[in-house]
Amino acid sequence: MSREILPRHLRSQAVALAHDVLMVPIAWFLAYWLRYNLEVVPATYYEDALVGLFFILPIQLTAFLLFGLYRGIWRFASLPDIVRILKAVAVGTLVGVALLFIFTRAGGVPRSVPVIYAILLVMLLSGPRLIYRLLKDHSLDLSPGKRVLIVGSGKAGEMLARDILRNRRGDYRPVAFVDDKQRRQGREIHGIPVAGTCGDIPRLSEELGIDIIMLAIPSASSRQMRRVVELCEKAEIPFRSVPQLNDLISGSVQINNLRTVSIEDLLGRDPVSLDWHAINNALSGKVILVTGAGGSIGSELCRQLAKIEPARLVLLEISEFNLYSIEMELRSSFPDLSLQCHLGDILDQPLVDNLFEQERPEVVFHAAAYKHVPMLEHQLRQAVRNNILGTRILAQSADRYQCDVFVLVSTDKAVNPANVMGACKRGAEIYCQNLNPHSDTKFITVRFGNVLGSAGSVIPLFRKQIEAGGPVTVTDPRMERYFMTIPEACQLIMQTVVLGDGGEIFVLDMGEPIKISYLAEQMIHLSGRTPGIDIQIEYIGLRPGEKLYEELFHEMEHLQKTAHDKVFIARYRQVDWYRLLDNLDNMKVACDNYETGELQTLLEILVPEHAELEKGDSSANEATA
């Protein structure tokens, strides 16, 4: 059994060094031969050439080592390697000729020889390196591999093509690029042509016999992704995507870590630009309390807040498991974070008062709420207690213990609420807005639509239904909803702390609403199946409390712009403060006595638009009957 004398990388460096040493005398004598017009070099000059080589060779070898010619690998030779060769040859030639002049006056060295030598040596050193890389990148491989069409010929597309060509296994073979930029049409990248635009995907897939389409457009907007995915679906060919731009920038993934296109790619929106400097100034070094800290929004808020180094992050969560999960995650990801976790209910006033007295939070993000619309239609008492009276308990403690900012996380369902959940969130908004003039604490409300992938949302439900083989249940083909990613929602919530002076309702720009039927169809497509054939879509009618279209602001709230282009202010509506307090006190009594009918009446007084909508629905139903 043979043993390797040198490790592989050292053997490669030794071979490269031997090659370069051999190239020095070849370049030196070729320079003399070219100087004498490819004829025989006179004997006297030939002897001087040998003497000159005695000086040039060791100096040139020293220059090679000093400039790091053997740090690079021939397999990946590129422009930085050529630059190192140019520097090493230039310095070696100048120093060698200078020493030759000092010791021998360089009488037998024609002046043109060093110049010709330097040019030849650069060619002899860089040429084999580039040829070797070219052969490796386009190595002969009898296995054809899957024929690939790459969408996007920018930097991501070029990197993806290069990685595919370097793959010795030859699983894939890039055939062509498509790109909508006209200036790239007809060009070649690594010998692969840009054969057309994205609109040509179906045609080119058929003409070129494409086996798989790879999307190398990590910075594409959701609208662009939807268009490209629809074209890929028309081609009826599997498609995969490179990771998203944020993941590539962070270095957590490589360009060749292909993945399936997710529904978040199609429904998410352009990255939000935040004033992180202002957010850090407002929140860094503060004691921050997050309620509902184990939920979808609460847990992501905790992750975002932990990055800006608060003095202490305080978590309040009613679910033991959710609190445990987010605590373990935060302690692992942020070992230096000062973290306090409290298991408890926002309705437990002694607990809330004790928490505020102990922790003295300066900023509160109130994300704890019941939010399941159909369920809460039959749980009026629980919805009122948690979403209205629980908010009141927290807000009162924030006021009593002189908290700086209190942010209420609300929902678009609070606008013209057609359900108990939305009416209760609207009630919470009304209380916080009207408490603001009576408190030194700034009470801010943030309102937005559906969050992609949050617990209890439609996307996890559709995924389960698709995995089970269907059917996918959609309430109505006309139903539309606004969608936003969880990180984007949380970052904009944090931005409102900077923008708010107290009493505002901030409305987040949710982009364009998406039809739920489109969402269902795309999720089925992305699972590799066909809607209506492999997976059926069933329309089951509106559930209790649901609306076809959600609104982000009431017609009387009159949106105004803020310093952030994704955040607007809705003008809040004042109510009589003392009548409001009496209403909430009566609600508590009705909850304690389990008087559901009285609660319904009090909720309609608090949120009159909910009462009007309910009467309107009732009249419509009677007319239909």
Burial class (CB in 10 A: 0-12, 13-18, 19+), 224: middle
Residue 66 pLDDT: 86
Residue 349 pLDDT: 94
Cα separation of 452 and 268, whole Å? 8
Residue 439 pLDDT: 93
- Active-site positions read 413
Cα separation of 301 and 297, whole Å? 6
Mean pLDDT of 450-454: 62
64-89 confidence digits (pLDDT tens): 888 887 766 565 566 777 888 899 88
Mean pLDDT of 505-521: 75
CB 443 within 8 A of CB 503: yes
* SS3 state of residue 445: strand
Residue 586 pLDDT: 95
396-409 confidence digits (pLDDT tens): 999 999 999 999 99
Single out the residue of 469, 488, 473 nearest to residue 267, CA to CA.
488
Q: Band of the pLDDT at 244, cuts 50, 70, 90? A: low
Question: What is the percentage of the chain residues whose pLDDT exceeds 70?
Answer: 77
Residue 20 pLDDT: 85
Lowest average pLDDT, out of 35-44, 191-200, 309-318, goes to 35-44
Mean pLDDT of 503-515: 74
Domain architecture of the chain: domains with CATH: 8-137 (no CATH), 146-261 (3.40.50.720), 276-612 (3.40.50.720)
Residue 247 pLDDT: 47
Distances, alpha carbon 156 to alpha carbons 153, 241, 296, in Å? 7, 11, 32
Q: Which residue(s) pair with 517 in the sheet?
A: none
Residue 153 pLDDT: 84
Encode 225-256: b = buried (16+ Cβ within 10 Å), e = exposed. Answer: bbbbbebbbebebebebbbbeeebeeeeeebb
Encode 397-417: b = buried (16+ Cβ within 10 Å), e = exposed. Answer: bbbebebbbbbbbbbbbbbbb
Is the model's pLDDT at 622 over the cut of 50?
Answer: no
Residue 382 pLDDT: 95
Residue 215 pLDDT: 86
Q: Band of the pLDDT at 253, cuts 50, 70, 90? A: very low
Lowest average pLDDT, out of 150-159, 160-169, 196-205, 226-235, goes to 160-169
* SS3 state of residue 512: coil
The chain-wide mean pLDDT, for the chain, equals 79
Mean pLDDT of 186-209: 85
Q: Band of the pLDDT at 245, cuts 50, 70, 90? A: very low
Is the model's pLDDT at 625 over the cut of 70?
Answer: no
Cα separation of 59 and 63, whole Å? 6
